[in-house]
Amino acid sequence: MSRSVLTQDQLSSFERDGVVVLKNFYDRENDILPIQRGIYDIIGQVMIGHGVEDHRSAFSPETFDDGYQHLISMNRAWGGEIYDAVKQIPAFFRLVGHPSNERIISELRKNAVPGIAAGGYGIRIDNPREDKFRAMWHQEYPSQLRSLDGVVFWSPLVAITEEIGPVVVCPGSHREGPLPVIEADPDNSNRTGTYLLMLHREAELLSRYSKIAPLTGPGDLILMDFLVLHASGHNIDTRSRWSMQFRYFNFSEPTGRSHGWKGSFAAGVDFKTVHPELYVSSK
């Protein structure tokens, strides 16, 4: 039999905590650097597109996002253009489809038939002190669906410090099973779709768990169970926090199979039509 990707320790941590951090999992030179270069090139193209002079130094993996803060200070919508563009970088697709990712699912989920969640991959750009797109406390399942036992792959492109705002996770909370959600009042929020979902009885739930906020860097990988509670940190740095996420699921998990592996908001589906029992109306 070929060697496992995950150690026995990592497997049992994931089972116990619903989260595990794999240091230096991807190859910085071959897997990560081409993605950073792709972002650098796209920032250059957006500059050309909007007639902004490019005074950047040559590409380096440490400063691949140079010029981005300047662009969004001129026009925040150009940041949205970059956000939509960078998830189409071929090297990013190669990382999403990296053979080790599929192996991870097979090792974590017995008899899995692995799938990549369509529309469930992208590169977050969390800008300093911007709240609109910050993820509130959530389980992944309602906003992704596909299968109950999916796994979030989370891997940064910059050094994740306390200031830039690591993702925060409640180890062990996946054992709650799927939890009901409510929707924040859209009239009193600038959020839409999945960003409106909030856990029902959030404070009481969170009071029962400790929190971890792992400091990671390019090449590291955090795996999160689709049911573990997690939230975005607050970026109080001056640089944007660039991080990649994609989701694998399991075609052989009965709940997902019974709804035909439907996707959620990103697939144009309102999750409460699939799981009305997980929705608590606040009206």
Residues lying near ligand AKG in the complex (CB under 6 A) are found at: 124, 135, 140, 152, 154, 167, 230, 232, 243, 245
**Concatenated DSSP letters for 91-106?**
HHHHHHT-HHHHHHHH
Q: Considering CB distances under 5 to 8 angstroms, the limit depending on partner class, which of Fe ion, ligand AKG, none binds residue 174?
A: none
- The first and second tokens of residue 116, run together, are 């990549």
Q: Considering CB distances under 5 to 8 angstroms, the limit depending on partner class, which of ligand AKG, Fe ion, none binds residue 245?
A: ligand AKG
> Closest separation between CB of residue 29 and Fe ion, Å?
28
- Which phi-psi region, left, alpha or beta, contains residue 99 (left: φ > 0; alpha: ψ -120 to 50)? alpha
Packed helices 33-49 and 76-86: angle between N→C axes, nearest 10 degrees:
140
Nearer to Fe ion, 105 or 167 (CB): 167
Q: How many residues make contact with Fe ion (CB under 5 A)? A: 1
Which of positions 130-189 make contact with Fe ion (CB under 5 A)? 140
Q: Residue 215 and residue 132: Cα distance in Å, rounded?
A: 23
Nearer to ligand AKG, 17 or 140 (CB): 140
Nearer to Fe ion, 64 or 226 (CB): 226
**Concatenated DSSP letters for 57-81?**
PSP-GGGTTTTHHHHHHH-HHHHHH
Nearer to ligand AKG, 22 or 152 (CB): 152
Residue nearest to Fe ion (CB): 140
Q: Considering CB distances under 5 to 8 angstroms, the limit depending on partner class, which of ligand AKG, Fe ion, none binds residue 95?
A: none
Nearer to ligand AKG, 22 or 47 (CB): 22
Contact criterion met (CB below 8 Å) for 141 and 178: yes
Q: How do beta strands 181-183 and 241-250 pair?
A: unpaired
Q: Which residues bind Fe ion (CB under 5 A)?
A: 140
